[in-house]
Amino acid sequence: MGKYAQLVIGPAGCGKSTYCNHLYEHCQAIKRSVHVVNLDPAAEAFQYPVSLDIRDLVCLEDVMEELGLGPNGGLLYCMEYLEDNLHEWLGEELEGYGDEDYLVFDCPGQIELYNHLSVFRSFVDFLKNDGWSVCVVYCLDAHFVTDVAKFMAGALQALAAMVKLELPHVNILTKVDLMEDKNHLDEFLFPDPELLLHQLAASTGPRFRQLNRAMGGLLEEFSLVSFLPLDITDEDSIADILGQIDMAIQYGEDAEPRIRDELEDGGDDDDDDGGGDGGDDI
């Protein structure tokens, strides 16, 4: 097997760490090894065990104190520092991981890091060059579906991250278990831009009509943005998401020939005991 990784990104407070925790618990339950990596230099506490921690390299609190930066500026500095030290720090940390290892990177929630800056593009390029198969997992709070304008903005952010990172990509609507009304949820899992534009026109003024049409056309042209629902009270929900991610990065596909070989070897032994020549002819 190869080396596999998830890059969990999305806006602040969208449930990235909660997703990582429940993914870890699910993998523990099914006897599957997974290692969670913290890439948020501002993180303070974790529900899951942290295998690697960016705070061993750089910490937001220290940067703000020493350089006199605010939270946003300090976070940008931390991530650029990570970008400058990918080979020295991350390269050394990943030396202990090899075939059959599966990493989940819990990332900070500043949108600029994925949509505008080069840091995460450099990060994924480093992982790919090191032999890792990577899937981006973009988390969006299900609360966004209560306001079509917010949902359109979130969908465009997801699309921007897809275009910027150029990796297999799975979008998740988190916190579905907290929704009171789930009757219209399916409309947003596979969004129809035409339907959304009608709703958007009703909530925005006429002067935004051309802009709304342009945004809808962009989503329709790419036809790439769809979402999977995450309900942390439903074990099948996290299992379905993990299955989709596994397919995206072809996790475990190279294990199938080994299973077939073992079965064939066993079959040869049986044939030898009871007349293997017929099997050789086949």
Per-residue pLDDT tens digits for 190-245:
877 777 777 777 777 777 888 888 887 777 776 668 899 999 999 999 999 999 99
Closest CA to 52 of 43, 65, 60, 61: 43
> CA-CA distances (angstroms) from residue 155 to 98, 117, 118, 189, 215?
35, 19, 21, 11, 10
Q: Report pLDDT for 146.
A: 83
Residue 260 or residue 250, greater confidence: 250
Least reliable range by pLDDT among 30-39, 109-118, 152-161, 188-197: 188-197
Sign for the pseudo-dihedral over CA of 186, 158, 222, 128? negative
Q: Report pLDDT for 270.
A: 47
Reported as a pLDDT band with limits 50, 70 and 90, residue 61 is very high
Q: Report pLDDT for 278.
A: 44
Question: What tokens were used for 233?
Answer: 């009270």
- Compute φ and ψ for 219, nearest 5 degrees: -65, -40
Residues 6+ apart with CB under 8 A from 146: none
Q: Report pLDDT for 246.
A: 94
Q: Report pLDDT for 254.
A: 60
Residue 37 or residue 115, greater confidence: 37
By the 8 A CB rule, do 197 and 205 touch?
no
pLDDT exceeds cutoff 90 at 101: no
CA–CA separation, 85 and 66 (whole Å): 19
C-alpha angle with apex 99: 96 to 105, nearest 5 degrees? 65
By the 8 A CB rule, do 132 and 213 touch?
no
CA–CA separation, 278 and 258 (whole Å): 24
Q: Report pLDDT for 63.
A: 95
Q: What is the DSSP letter of 235?
A: H
> Which tens digits make up the pLDDT trace of 116-151?
888 999 999 999 999 999 999 999 999 888 888 888
Ordered structural domains, the chain, with CATH: 3-251 (3.40.50.300)
Task: Quote the mean pLDDT of the chain.
Answer: 85
Residues 6+ apart with CB under 8 A from 10: 16, 109, 138, 139, 140, 174
**In this prediction, what percent of the chain has a pLDDT beyond 70?**
88
The mean per-residue pLDDT over the stretch 49-78 comes to 94
Neighbours of 201 (CB within 10 A): 15
Residue 256 or residue 236, greater confidence: 236
Q: Report pLDDT for 1.
A: 62
Q: Report pLDDT for 273.
A: 46
pLDDT exceeds cutoff 90 at 259: no
Bridge partner residues of 106 (DSSP): 8, 38
